[in-house]
Structure 1
Amino acid sequence: MPHTVEWKVRLHLFEDDEGATKAHVVLDTGTTALTGHGTAHCHPADRNVPEIGDELAAGRALQELAKQLLNTAERDIEGVGASRPSTRQAAAGWPV
């Protein structure tokens, strides 16, 4: 049976007063919303390249979001009576 949905992802990047780059990502599935946060700090001895801070903060926020999404899927799998995967890579029976 075909299944098509659209999930929306919003990623906001900003710099705080201390110079840290912060990311806030929201995944809206239409029935629930998950959020992730990430932060990046430029070492004082390094050259300030804002794009690198954006990449690090966004990557960390997306990583946090991915962990939440996998945990939700694993709970849902258990909820329908299936056993929890033995490794994260095999979550939900999908190869990585």
Structure 2
Amino acid sequence: MEAKQWTVDIYITEDGDDTHARAVLRAPDASTVAGRGAARRNPVDRPIPEIGDELAASRALEDLAIRLHDVASEDIVQMAGPAEP
């Protein structure tokens, strides 16, 4: 059985009450797929940066999953070839 490893890096930035995350998947063939996510703290909530990080990162991973699924779907369509009349 062949084992493959794909790496996902998550980059998080904060600006005041806003947190932004970018999840980047790097495959061994040097292709990449990226997803984005964001979170905004309600000003009446206590400032707990970890919660914003978790929400933004989870949303970036969710977006990444959707984009990766789209890539796979496009690959399937290309491999299927033209439709027969």
- With normalisation by structure 2, the TM-score equals 0.83
Partner of 1:91: none
Pick which of 55-64 and 45-54 moved more. 45-54
Q: Which runs of 5+ in 2 are unaligned?
A: none
How much identity, in percent, do the aligned residues show?
Answer: 40
Q: Which runs of 5+ in 1 are unaligned?
A: 83-96
Partner of 1:46: 45
| CA root-mean-square deviation | 1.5
Higher relative contact order (CA 8 A, sep 6+): 2
Mapped pair 1:27 → 2:22: no
More strand by share: 2
Instruction: Report SS of the residue matched to 1:44.
Output: coil
- 1:52 to partner: Cα distance: 1.0
The correspondence of residues 1-96 of structure 1 with structure 2, limited to 5 A, is 2-16=1-15, 18-31=16-29, 32-81=31-80
1:9-35 Cα deviation digits (max 9, x unpaired): 11111212x331111111001221011
- Structure 1 counterpart of 2:28, which letter? G
Moved over 2 A (4+): none
1:61-88 Cα deviation digits (max 9, x unpaired): 0011001000111111112218xxxxxx
> Aligned equivalents of 2:2 and 2:75: distance in 1?
18
> Aligned equivalents of 1:24 and 1:81: distance in 2?
32
Aligned residues: 80
- Structure 2 counterpart of 1:78, which letter? V
- Structure 1 counterpart of 2:49, which letter? P
